[in-house]
Amino acid sequence: MKILVLNCGSSSIKYQLFDIDQGSVLAKGIVEKIGLKGSFLKNERFDGDKVKLEGEILDHQSGFEFLLGMMISEKRGVISSLSEIDAVGHRLVHGGETFQGSCYLDEVTIKGVEDCSDLAPLHNPANLKGIYAMKNLLPDIPQVGVFDTSFHQTMPDYSFMYALPYSLYKKYGIRRYGFHGTSHSYVSKRACEILAVDYKSKKIITCHLGNGASITAIKDGKSLDTSMGLTPVEGLIMGTRSGDVDAGALTLIMEKEEIDYSSLNTLLNKHSGVLGISGISSDMREVETAAAEGDERAILSLKMYQYRVRKYIGAYAAAMGGVDILIFTGGIGENSPDDREKICENMEFLGLEFDKKVNTGVRGKELIISKKESRVTVMIVPTNEEWVIASETRDIVEQMKAGK
Ligand code: ADP
**Pairing mode of beta strands 222-226, 103-104:** unpaired
187: left (phi over 0), alpha (psi -120 to 50) or beta: alpha
Catalytic annotation on 148? yes
Most ligand 1 atoms within 8 A of CB, residue of 240, 335, 341 to mutate = 335
Quote the pLDDT of residue 263: 96
Residues 87 and 210 in one domain: no
Confidence category of residue 197, pLDDT binned at 50, 70, 90: very high
Same domain? 211 vs 295: yes
Beta bridge partners of 32: 40
Q: Are residues 79 and 207 in the same domain?
A: no
- Residue 52 pLDDT level (bands cut at 50, 70, 90): very high
Residues 312 and 371 in one domain: yes
173 in a structural domain: no
Write the CB contacts of 201 (distance below 8 Å, at least 6 apart in sequence): 220
**Residue 218 pLDDT exceeds 90:** yes
**Residues 217, 127 within the same domain:** no
| CA 228 centroid distance within chain | 11
CATH of the domain at 312: 3.30.420.40
Residue 157 lies in a domain: no
Does pLDDT of 404 surpass 80? no
Q: Decide: helix, strand or coil at residue 25.
A: strand
274 lines ligand 1 (CB under 6 A): no
Residue 143 contacts by C-beta under 8 Å, 6 or more apart in sequence? 87, 88, 89, 90, 104, 105, 131, 134, 135
Tell me which of 19, 106, 148, 244 is the catalytic residue: 148
| C-alpha 54 chain-centroid distance | 28
Q: Is residue 176 part of a domain?
A: no
Quote the CA–CA distance of 283 and 303 in Å, as a whole number: 15
The average pLDDT across 252-256 equals 98
206 and 303 share one domain: yes
Query: Same structural domain for residues 346 and 239?
Result: yes
Q: How big is the CA angle at 302 (ends 123 and 293), to the nearest 5 degrees?
A: 125
The mean of the pLDDT values for the chain is 96
Give me the number of domains the chain comprises.
2
Distance from the alpha carbon of residue 215 to the mean position of ligand 1, in angstroms: 16
pTM of the predicted structure, to 2 decimals: 0.94
pLDDT score of 161 = 98
What is residue 104's predicted lDDT score, i.e. its pLDDT? 97
Q: Ligand 1 pocket, 211 CB below 6 A?
A: yes
Residue 329 C-alpha to ligand 1 middle, in angstroms? 10
Within 13 Å, how many C-alpha atoms sit on residue 292's CB side?
A: 7
Q: Which domain holds residue 20?
A: 2-147
Residue 22 domain flag = yes
| Residues of the chain above pLDDT 70, percent | 100
**Pair 100, 222 in one domain:** no
129 and 255 both lie in a single domain: no
**Is residue 115 situated within a structural domain?**
yes
The mean pLDDT of 162-183, rounded to a whole number, is: 97
Of 84, 115, 147, the position where a domain reaches its end is: 147
133 and 233 both lie in a single domain: no
Domain match, 142 and 200 both: no
Alpha helices in 53-197 (DSSP H): 60-71, 107-115, 124-137, 157-160, 166-172, 181-195
**Each residue's pLDDT tens digit, 92-149:** 999 999 999 999 999 999 999 999 998 888 889 999 999 999 999 999 999 999 999 9
Give the separation between CA 280 and CA 285, rounded to whole angstroms.
11
232 Cβ closer than 6 Å to some ligand 1 atom: no
Band of residue 300 on the pLDDT scale cut at 50, 70, 90:
very high
Q: Whose CA is nearest to atom 12 of ligand 1?
A: 331
Could you tell me if 352 and 223 lie in one domain? Answer: yes
Least confident of 115-129, 251-265, 290-304: 115-129
Taking the C-alpha atoms of residue 37 and residue 241, their distance in angstroms, rounded to an integer, is 27
**245 within domain boundaries:** yes
How buried is residue 167: exposed, middle or buried, by Cβ count under 10 Å (0-12/13-18/19+)? exposed
Of 116, 147, 178, the position where a domain reaches its end is 147
Q: Is residue 396 part of a domain?
A: no
Q: Does a structural domain hold residue 175? A: no
Task: Looking at the CA of residue 363, tell me the nearest atom of ligand 1.
Answer: 23
Averaged pLDDT, 251-260:
97
Q: Which residues contact 95 (CB under 8 A, 6 or more apart)?
A: 112, 113, 116, 145, 147, 148, 149, 150, 153
Question: What is residue 122's predicted lDDT score, i.e. its pLDDT?
Answer: 82
When pLDDT is cut at 50, 70 and 90, the band that residue 155 belongs to is very high
How many angstroms is it from 75 CA to the middle of ligand 1? 33
